[in-house]
Amino acid sequence: GNSVTQMEGPVTLSEEAFLTINCTYTATGYPSLFWYVQYPGEGLQLLLKATKADDKGSNKGFEATYRKETTSFHLEKGSVQVSDSAVYFCALSDQTGANNLFFGTGTRLTVIP
């Protein structure tokens, strides 16, 4: 079946620190992979995505590379800001038609000045 395992939080970093949030997946077939972000009081927003192996998704300084050999899609950012404080969700879509998303448990990131 499909599942996503995500790094447990919470994560607290100082501004300008390097961020990594680990995500690994199990899927039948060839999924698309996503990172969603939920800022306080808001809905989930798509942060970035990758649809095939070795693709790199990037947005707002965040990056993640689709690694088929390690079934991973780790989220990274070189220098976090206070405004990056949010909950981050890794997700996959198995692309078999319904496009249902399978999510990880979410990682809460707090960036302190």
Partner 1 sequence: EAGVTQFPSHSVIEKGQTVTLRCDPISGHDNLYWYRRVMGKEIKFLLHFVKESKQDESGMPNNRFLAERTGGTYSTLKVQPAELEDSGVYFCASSQDMLVEQYFGPGTRLTVT
Q: What is the Cα–Cα distance from 8 to 51, expressed in whole angstroms?
A: 25
Select from 28, 69, 70, 98 the one that contacts partner 1 (CB under 8 A).
98
Give the gyration radius of the chain's Cα atoms.
14
Count of all residues that appear for the chain in the document? 113
Q: What's the closest the beta carbon of residue 66 comes to partner 1, in angstroms?
A: 16
Cβ–Cβ < 8 Å for 48, 63: yes
Cβ–Cβ < 8 Å for 85, 18: no
> Of the ranges 15-23, 43-51, 58-66, 69-77, which one interacts with partner 1 (CB under 8 A)?
43-51
Q: Does 36 bind partner 1 (CB under 8 A)?
A: yes
How far is residue 87 from each of residues 21, 40, 70, 104, measured CA to CA in Å? Answer: 11, 8, 24, 11
Select from 13, 22, 44, 55 the one that contacts partner 1 (CB under 8 A).
44
> Of the ranges 21-29, 39-47, 58-66, 67-75, which one interacts with partner 1 (CB under 8 A)?
39-47
Q: Which spans of this chain sit near partner 1 (rule: CB under 8 A)?
A: 4, 36, 41-46, 49, 89, 91, 93, 95, 97-106
